[in-house]
Amino acid sequence: MADAAPIHVLLAGPRGFCAGVDRAIKIVEEALRQYGAPVYVRHEIVHNRFVVQNLERQGAVFVEELDEIPDDGQPVVFSAHGVPKAVPAAAEARRMFFLDATCPLVSKVHREAEQHHARGRHMFLIGHAGHPEVVGTMGQLPPGAVTLVEDEADARAVQPPPGAALAFITQTTLSVDDTAEILAILQSRFPGMAAPAKEDICYATTNRQAAVKAIAPQVELMVVVGAPNSSNSVRLKEVALRAGCPRAVMVQRGRDLDLALLDGVSRIGVTAGASAPEVLVEEVLARLRERGPVTTEEIVVAEEKIIFKLPAALTAAAPQQA
C-alpha cells in the first residue's frame, strides 16, 4: 500500500516494562542460569504470553498450583502479583526452595494490610475480584478482615462491621481517576478511615496513564500493546477513551492489529502495558509500516529510573539443596 497516506505515531513515554516486571523476569532467568531447568513458576510470572513463552523456551514450567510440582528440589518462583500467605506456608511444609518475585510495591500493600489489621482496623480493598494481586493481598489476613470494593456502586453500598475502625488499601494497577472517585465516596461515608502513608497505585501505573492522557486528545486511534488479563493494560485503553481519543484497541502482537482500522486515520497513539516488552511495540510499528509511511514522535511525561534488587538467594552464592 505504497500510496497510503502517511501516519504519524505518538509513542507514550513511559511505556512497557516497569521495575517490578523486569525484576520478576530476571528472577526466573537467573534461577534458570544458576540451577538449570526446570524452574517452576506458579501462575504467569507477568500477564504477557510472549514473555511466558520466551521463559518456557528457556526451561521454565508454569503451573497453577504447587501440587502440580514434583519434589525434585528445583526452584519454585511466585509471580509478580503476590500470593496469599498460605502459598509460601505450603511450600515450606514441602521443603521447597522458593523465590518470591512479588513486586516490592505489592509487598508494600501487604505490609500495610498487616499493620492496619494489627491496629484493629477493618480494611476496604479497592480492586478487581479474582485478580491475582487482589487474591494475594486478601490472603495476607484472616477471612473477613478485608472487604473488597470494586466500583462506585460498591462504595455506596458497602457496610463494614458495626463500630469497626476502618482503613483502605488499593490494588496497584487501577485507574487513577476511577479509584479517586471510589475513594471520594468512601471518605464521604467514613471520614475517619485511615489512608496509606503513600499511595498504593504504583508509579508505573500512574506514569503510563499520564502519558496516555497527554496523547489521547491528539490522536484518532490509540493502540495499547498488552494482554486482556493485564489489569494495567486494560486500564490504559479505558483511560485513552476517557481522555478524548475516539477509538482505542488492545493488541498482544503486531500481527493482531487490523490495518482496516487505519482507514482515514493520520495520527495514532501507541503505548504498552507494564508487562509488555518493547519488542512488541516494535512489532506494532512494523505492522503500521506494512500499510505505508510512518513517522514517530515520543511524548515523555516522566523519567523512570527505579530498579529493584533480586532476592539475596540469587545474588549470594547459590544455595545447594540437600
> Which residues are marked as active site?
133
Quick one: cell of 312?
539475596
Query: How far apart, in whole angstroms, are the C-alpha atoms of residue 11 and residue 137?
Result: 33
Dihedral, CA atoms, 135, 140, 141, 145, nearest 10 degrees? Answer: -40
Q: Where are the alpha helices (DSSP H) in the chain?
A: 19-35, 49-58, 86-93, 104-118, 132-138, 152-157, 176-189, 203-215, 231-242, 278-289, 312-315
Contact in structure between 180 and 124 (CB atoms under 8 Å): no
Quick one: cell of 302?
516522566
Query: How far apart, in whole angstroms, are the C-alpha atoms of residue 248 and residue 238?
Result: 8
